[in-house]
């Protein structure tokens, strides 16, 4: 993957997490990266493809980070909480898949499938950690909701409060 492609994905991820799918343009991304909009189209022929690629990379990285925590002996629920917290504190932004899921009604099928994958993989890894399906859903919902609420209230301690019931 070239530097430009990485930079495009980085810029698109940041903008989607701040303003949603309809909240960014190819010209925005191009300006962020330092190329022209047509060059962004060269790598990602359509906006849907770009958003889908961003969601896929985000999910892969997220799940990998969780698995790394679990491999080190961290409880699976605590692992998910830590990676969510890191995403909030590092970037001060919403979860990418949460931001996209909030407008899932009008989302292109290709993108929705990637966002769905994030939640389904989440449920799957939590179940592999020994949780029932309902409990797994509860963990993901609480974390997404805590992140959402912390963002709008502009107070990261809200994330801690919102997710505190998950701690064993």
Q: Which residues make up the interface to DNA (CB under 7 A)? A: 2, 4, 24-28, 30, 35-39, 41-43, 45-48
* Helix/strand number for the chain, H first, E second: 9, 0
Taking the complex as a whole, the smallest distance from the CB of residue 94 to a copy of itself amounts, in Å, to 6
Cβ proximity to DNA, 34 vs 92, nearer residue: 34
Q: How many alpha carbons lie under 13 Å from residue 17 in its C-beta half-sphere?
A: 22
19 touches, from a copy of itself, DNA, none (C-beta below 5 to 8 Å by class)? a copy of itself
Segment 83 to 112, residues that bind a copy of itself, using CB under 8 A? 93-94, 97-99, 101-106, 112
Q: Report how far Cα 68 is from the mean position of its chain's Cα atoms.
A: 17
Contact present, 21 and 107 (Cβ < 8 Å) = yes
143 touches a copy of itself by CB under 8 A: yes
117 touches, from DNA, a copy of itself, none (C-beta below 5 to 8 Å by class)? none
Taking the complex as a whole, the smallest distance from the CB of residue 43 to DNA amounts, in Å, to 6
61 touches a copy of itself by CB under 8 A: no
DSSP 6-71: HHHHHHHHHHHHHH-GGG--HHHHHHHHTS-HHHHHHHSSSHHHHHHHHHHHHHHHHHHHHHHHHH
Cβ proximity to DNA, 36 vs 133, nearer residue: 36
Taking the complex as a whole, the smallest distance from the CB of residue 112 to DNA amounts, in Å, to 16
Taking the complex as a whole, the smallest distance from the CB of residue 8 to DNA amounts, in Å, to 8
CA-CA-CA-CA torsion sign (68, 165, 90, 58)? positive
């Amino acid at each position: 993957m070239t530097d430009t492609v990485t930079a495009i994905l980085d810029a698109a991820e940041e903008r989607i997490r701040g303003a949603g799918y309809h909240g960014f343009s190819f010209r925005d991304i191009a300006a962020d990266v330092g190329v022209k909009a047509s060059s962004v189209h060269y790598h990602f022929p359509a906006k849907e493809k770009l958003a889908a690629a961003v969601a896929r990379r985000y999910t892969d990285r997220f799940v990998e980070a969780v698995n790394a925590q679990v491999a080190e002996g961290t409880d699976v629920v605590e692992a998910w909480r830590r990676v969510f917290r890191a995403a909030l504190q590092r970037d001060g932004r919403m979860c990418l898949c949460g931001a996209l899921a909030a407008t899932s009604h009008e989302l292109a099928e290709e993108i929705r499938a990637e966002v769905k994958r994030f939640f389904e993989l989440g449920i799957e890894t939590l179940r592999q950690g020994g949780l029932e399906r309902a409990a797994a859903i509860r963990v993901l919902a609480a974390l997404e909701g805590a992140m959402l609420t912390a963002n709008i209230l502009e107070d990261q301690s809200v994330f801690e409060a919102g997710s505190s019931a998950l701690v064993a």
